[in-house]
């Protein structure tokens, strides 16, 4: 039986690959190579990934995407702004979107 870990209120089973996750994830990272490789790995594991290179692009994706993302993974030091501030903004406007 797979090991189970609890993170927040979600239950993650280590070692079990879900066929389709369908979680919508916004990945904000200004280093292009890292962003591309990470986004591809997430997609390969069933996540629907939106990629943004900075704060402005992330805001555009958030406005254009419905329903909103389930999770936003944000670099804290972005070329065009503060990742912490973006996380606070997303949490305020989209309370169902977890930010990390």
Per-residue pLDDT of the chain (100 residues; tens, 9 = 90+): 333 333 333 444 444 444 445 799 999 999 999 999 999 999 999 999 999 999 999 999 999 988 889 999 999 999 999 999 999 999 999 999 999 8
Q: What CATH architecture applies to the domain 18-99?
A: 3-Layer(aba) Sandwich (3.40)
Residue 66 confidence (pLDDT): 84
- Give CA–CA dist 46/31, Å, rounded: 23
Residues 14-43, buried b or exposed e (16+ Cβ, 10 A)? eeeeeeeeebbbbbbbbeeeebeebbeebe
Residue 21 confidence (pLDDT): 57
Which helix (H) or strand (E) segment holds residue 36: the answer is: helix 32-44
Question: Which residues 6+ apart lie within 8 Å of 63 measured at CB?
Answer: none
């Amino acid at each position: 039986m797979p090991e189970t870990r609890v993170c927040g209120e979600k239950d993650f089973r280590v070692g079990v690959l879900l066929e389709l996750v369908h979680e919508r994830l916004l990945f904000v990272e200004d280093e292009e190579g890292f962003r591309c490789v990470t986004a591809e790995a997430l997609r390969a594991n069933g996540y629907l990934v939106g990629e943004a290179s900075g704060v402005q692009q992330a805001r555009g994706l958030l406005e254009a995407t419905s329903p909103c993302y389930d999770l936003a993974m944000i670099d804290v030091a972005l070329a065009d702004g503060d990742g912490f501030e973006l996380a606070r903004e997303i949490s305020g406007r989209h309370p169902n979107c977890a930010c990390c």
